[in-house]
Amino acid sequence: MKKTKIEDICDILNGFAFKSDKYVKKGIRVIRIANVQKGYIEDNAPVFYPTDFSGMERYMLREGDLLMSLTGNVGRVALIQKEMLPAALNQRVACLRINSDRITKKYLYHILNSDFFEQQCMQASNGVAQKNISTEWLRKYEIPLCSIDEQLKVTEILDGIQNVIDSKIAELKGLDDLVRSRFVELFGECRKRVFLNDLCSIITDGTHQPPKFQSDGVPFIFVSNLARDIITYDTEKYISAETYLELYKRTPIEIGDVLLSTVGSYGHPAVVTEAKKFLFQRHIAYLKPKHDIVNSFFLHSALLSPDGQRQIKEKVKGIAQKTLNLSEIRKIEIPLPELQKQNQFADFAHQVDKSKLIVQKELDETQLLFDSLMQEYFG
């Protein structure tokens, strides 16, 4: 299959260093590097710039522009959607705008959204503390280029599978929303409210000193392992049994304990449900509930409820990197009905979780098929 350089089919635009002290409540949305995730734009906390900013037109985005992260998690790509416009491009985010009839937008998107391309970006990046790739490298990067008919066939197959993946994700969200709405229905008007500090015997965080990692041993998890509001143990970082025993004294993890992400993707709680050895970074808070007064799964839902998430968002500090401090976590107010009612709600949540496991299994299998086809088509 023929190959062509990206610069031969795309214009590549660089962003501008918009200053955070000039952000306004309404105006031109600024798409920052943190917004560019793998395959989508995350825009939970949008920021805006004045519409009359001089020179803004140079950085304005168009519907369907392909954006790519150049710093940190390099090589993430996503398409900008119409509902996010008007929007402008921030620094260290590249915009790829097709200028050729030899390639379709979706075909290019699928190539650059592949694991192979992301790995190529990582290998080409420089920097120790923070990875960086240059737009010059991106311009010279060669991609496989088949006929338009073949491109359309590939994208039709991949888009079809992606639609199934999206529907499964939506189904999972619907089940999560069901639990949240049931929580509000039962406990939204609960008059007794208690500070989280009074519901837990321990509220602390993970180790502040990065341990010595090794290729196997006890899993060491990060904020990303809580992204689905459960604990996942897929990690490339492990510690020795000796290091585990030393650090375990700070966070004596047991079934029923609750973890809460506090930096970056903050506000994700997860209940420890397995008697499994693991430890975690400082950006995860550790809560040990008093089980004689609060059910761990009730507490999990309370933190995920609209009121719980509102309090968390109000208590985070920082601009560049949002942080939820332990002192603020202790002041989160939780409704506290009778333990029997908490347990009944937890039983309902468990039943929903059984349905989620089935959907998640179907999602994982479909994602595996998608990934194998991406490997077959693009490397």
Distance from C-alpha of 158 to C-alpha of 193, rounded to nearest angstrom:
49
| Tens-digit pLDDT profile for residues 61-92 | 999 899 999 998 888 999 998 999 999 999 99
The structure tokens listed for 278 are 């693991």
Of residues 34, 29, 159, 24, the one with CA closest to residue 82: 29
Q: What percent of the chain has pLDDT over 70?
A: 99
Q: For residue 353, what pLDDT band results from cuts at 50, 70 and 90?
A: very high
Average pLDDT score over residue span 228-245: 92
Res 48: pLDDT: 94
Check pLDDT > 70 for residue 129.
Answer: no
C-alpha distance from residue 239 to each of 216, 219, 260 (Å): 7, 7, 21
- Taking the mean position of all CA atoms in its chain, how far away is CA 291? 30
Res 72: pLDDT: 85
Mean predicted lDDT score pLDDT of the chain: 93
Domains of the chain: 3-145 (3.90.220.20), 146-183+338-379 (1.10.287), 191-336 (3.90.220.20)
Lowest mean pLDDT among 48-62, 112-126, 243-257, 322-336: 112-126
pTM over 0.95: no
Distance from C-alpha of 347 to C-alpha of 63, rounded to nearest angstrom:
45
C-alpha distance from residue 173 to each of 6, 170, 237, 299, 322 (Å): 37, 5, 29, 19, 24
- What DSSP character marks residue 221? E
